[in-house]
Amino acid sequence: MKKIILVFFVIFLLIFEIVPYNRIISISPALTEAIYLLDSQDKLIANTTYCIRPDEAKKKEKIGNLVDINIEKIIYLKPDLVLTTVMTKKEKIYKLINIGIKVEVFPEPKTFSEICKQFRNLAGLVDKYDLADYIIRKSIEKVEKVKNKTKSLKYNKIFVEIGINPLFTITKESYINDFIKFNNGMNIAINAKSGIYSREKVLISNPDAIIIIDMGIDTISEINEWNKYKNLNALKNDRIKTVDSYLVCSPNPQTFADALIEFTKIIHPEIIIDEFLNE
């Protein structure tokens, strides 16, 4: 009788996909960081060479980078779940699926709301809904405080730079646009057809601030390049600044809220951050 009950229980788990994932491999620095945030690092058996946050993530077994992965090593480690993003080569993902390994692919989030939704989906895979809901709630509270504080402040034009050669920015298709939107600002490239932009377009729009995401960019040289344009409002305002790429480009509710604060300091240097956050 006990064996029959056990069989039915296993069938129930398979049908409704209530699977206790305990051997997880992450192919994404953002997902790795989120797993630690969800206090599920004990289930993480391997990640990539780019997974360096938090520091403990560096000690995990490495299976390649976020684009190219070692299939043989993954098979050897016998994961019951592989977490990845659209950055990983499709043929590698299909190969994992075809050999029977469960793979969850997380798309690039376009908004803060999507970040929260994906974070909760991840929490379901590690059975941490309660913790995820708490983190999401606290992050939303911080975001709302920023929005309420800045909605009556000066409307600023912003340019966000995430790459050079060619100059690359973000459009309305990126969650990074929400950092500007929630600060009552306007992304000068919001309606661009792609992220490829030109300095000429930036100079014509004459943004009030230029925010450089230091993703492999020589930020000192790039700031010096912008400093050549003496009529640039961002230069006059002393608001050509950099933001940590690891903070901005590892989206989860908590890092989003923290990165939003960094944008607020640049877009609205007139306000005292700590005071309104503690209100």
The verdict on residue 122 lying in a domain is: no
| Residue whose pair of structure tokens reads 């409704």 in the numeric block | 16
Q: Are residues 271 and 157 in the same domain?
A: yes
Taking only the tens place, the pLDDT of each residue in 210-237 is 999 988 788 999 999 999 999 999 999 9
Extract long-range pairs of 134-141: CB within 8 Å, 24+ residues apart: 135/37, 135/38, 135/252, 135/253, 135/254, 136/253, 138/254, 138/257, 139/253, 139/254, 139/256, 139/257, 140/116, 140/253
The verdict on residue 124 lying in a domain is: no
> Of 85, 107, 129, which marks where a domain is finished?
107
50 neighbors 29 (Cβ within 8 angstroms): yes
Instruction: Decide: residue 223, CB within 10 A, 0-12 exposed, 13-18 middle, 19+ buried.
Output: middle
Taking only the tens place, the pLDDT of each residue in 150-176 is 999 989 999 999 999 899 999 999 999
Structure confidence at residue 6 as a pLDDT band (50, 70, 90)? low
CATH number at residue 238: 3.40.50.1980
Q: Are residues 168 and 76 in the same domain?
A: no
**Cross-strand pairs, 209:** 158
Q: Are residues 220 and 269 in the same domain?
A: yes
**pLDDT over 70 at 36, yes or no:** yes
Separation between Cα atoms, residue 134 and residue 125, nearest integer Å:
17
In this prediction the pTM is: 0.89
The verdict on residue 8 lying in a domain is: no
pLDDT at position 243 is 96
| Domain encompassing residue 52 | 16-107
pLDDT at position 272 is 83
The verdict on residue 2 lying in a domain is: no
74 neighbors 82 (Cβ within 8 angstroms): yes
More confident residue, 254 or 1: 254
Mean pLDDT to the nearest integer, 75-104: 95
The verdict on residue 31 lying in a domain is: yes
Mean pLDDT to the nearest integer, 248-258: 95
User: CA angle at residue 239 from 237 to 245, to 5 degrees?
Assistant: 175
Taking only the tens place, the pLDDT of each residue in 104-151 is 999 999 999 999 999 999 999 999 999 999 999 999 999 999 999 999
Q: Are residues 155 and 272 in the same domain?
A: yes
The verdict on residue 269 lying in a domain is: yes
State the average pLDDT for the chain: 92
**Cross-strand pairs, 210:** 159, 240
The verdict on residue 139 lying in a domain is: no
Mean pLDDT to the nearest integer, 232-247: 95
**E strands present in the chain:** 24-26, 44-47, 61-62, 81-85, 103-106, 156-163, 168-169, 185-187, 209-213, 240-243
32 neighbors 26 (Cβ within 8 angstroms): yes
Taking only the tens place, the pLDDT of each residue in 175-200 is 999 999 999 999 999 999 999 999 99
Separation between Cα atoms, residue 121 and residue 218, nearest integer Å:
36
pLDDT at position 96 is 95
As for how many domains the chain has, the answer is 2
33 neighbors 11 (Cβ within 8 angstroms): no
Q: Are residues 269 and 184 in the same domain?
A: yes
Q: Are residues 152 and 98 in the same domain?
A: no
> Of 50, 83, 107, which marks where a domain is finished?
107
Report the amino acid identity of residue 135. Answer: I
Q: How many residues does the chain have?
A: 279
Structure confidence at residue 67 as a pLDDT band (50, 70, 90)? confident
E strand or H helix that includes residue 254 = helix 253-267
pLDDT at position 8 is 54
Q: Are residues 103 and 153 in the same domain?
A: no
Q: Are residues 67 and 151 in the same domain?
A: no
Mean pLDDT to the nearest integer, 61-73: 92
Share of the chain above pLDDT 70, in %: 92
The verdict on residue 1 lying in a domain is: no
Q: Are residues 96 and 167 in the same domain?
A: no
Q: Are residues 81 and 150 in the same domain?
A: no
Q: Are residues 98 and 155 in the same domain?
A: no
pLDDT at position 15 is 46
> Of 107, 126, 159, which marks where a domain is finished?
107
Structure confidence at residue 10 as a pLDDT band (50, 70, 90)? very low
**pLDDT over 80 at 17, yes or no:** no
Q: Are residues 158 and 260 in the same domain?
A: yes
Mean pLDDT to the nearest integer, 10-17: 49
